[in-house]
Structure formats: C-alpha cells, structure tokens
Amino acid sequence: MTIENIQLDYKKIRELPKRKEEFKQKRNGMLEKSTCWEIVENLRKKKNIPDTETTFAVITGLVQTGGSNKNAGPNTNYEISGITLNANEFSNAISSTMKNATIRQFCRTMADEIAMTAQAIEESGDLAKQMILEHPELNNEDAVWCSNFQTKNPKCPKKVRDWLIQNYNKRFRD
C-alpha cells in the first residue's frame, strides 16, 4: 500500500476507547457542576470546615483576591471565620478530585455562584481596582464581577465583560 492509497476505517476509529469527559473539559475550559460541588465537599472534609457555605465563601474570597491567577502560590490566601485557604491547597483539592483540572476551570463553571457569594462577603474581583481607574463610577455590585474568569459569562454585566475583554487584549495581544 502506498501513502496515496491509505483508507481510514472509521468503524475502527469509533471503537477506540474515548476519554470524553476529560476532552470536553479541556475544550471548553470548564468542569461539570457536579465535579465542582464534589471538590467543595472534599475540601470541606479535608479542612474540617463546618459547612458548605463557609467552604464556598473561603474559596470565593481566595479566587476573588487573585487565587485563580496562574502564578498564585501559598502567599495568595484568604481567611474567613478563622479558616484560611491558600491557592496551593485549593489547587491540590481540585486535582485530587479531578486530575488535570484547574482553579480557573472551577471558577468558570461556578462563576455565577462565586459572584453571588462575593456579593454576600463583599469581596470585589481581583481586577476591580484596575477597572475603577478607568471607570470611577464602578459600583460594588459590578465590582464582584471583575475577575478574569467572568469574561465569557453572559450574566456578567456587559460593561464589566467588555472591560475585561479589553483589559485582556491589552495585556496579551499588544
């Protein structure tokens, strides 16, 4: 057989073992919602946090203050109700539940819940201070959306989403 005569057997290809879940997660940059709640529960148990609300609040505080950033390390931490969580602990909790999953994927999946929890704990997104420089009228309700993982969230206020995209393009495309 020559290279020009190669014929693919698509039936054989269809029968190859697939890793759909992992492929889907990498393709769209998100996790399944149930996986995220499993991560929250596993972290709650590991750190002996009394309830899901406190666990999610400390996660929210962490990611809102920069814990979802690629270079976030043990110095990026957040404390609420005497419970401290750092970015490495959270990353480890995620990867122990779902190998190769990331904090950013968790945040994209849970973006709405993070914004609502951030409202409750009054924690602006890590990019809010930058946005305020260009938009001094930015209010607290919109400031919670000022996190890079909110860029594609249709529930993120349009003016914040537009600014996030513009900010991203300035930092990475210029």
pLDDT at 18 over 80: no
pLDDT value, residue 2: 62
pLDDT value, residue 20: 54
Average pLDDT of the residues in 57-67 = 95
pLDDT at 133 over 60: yes
The answer to whether the Cα torsion of 109, 113, 114, 115 is positive or negative is positive
Say if residue 111 is exposed, middle or buried (CB neighbours under 10 Å; 0-12, 13-18, 19+). Answer: buried
Q: Report the chain's mean pLDDT, rounded to a whole number.
A: 89
pLDDT at 24 over 50: no
Specify whether the CB–CB gap between 120 and 92 falls below 8 A. no
pLDDT value, residue 27: 47
pLDDT in tens, 79-108: 999 999 999 999 999 999 999 999 999 999
Kindly give the pairing relationship between strand 83-86 and strand 77-80: antiparallel
Percent of the chain's residues with pLDDT above 70: 90
pLDDT at 118 over 90: yes
Closest CA to 151 of 108, 112, 115: 108
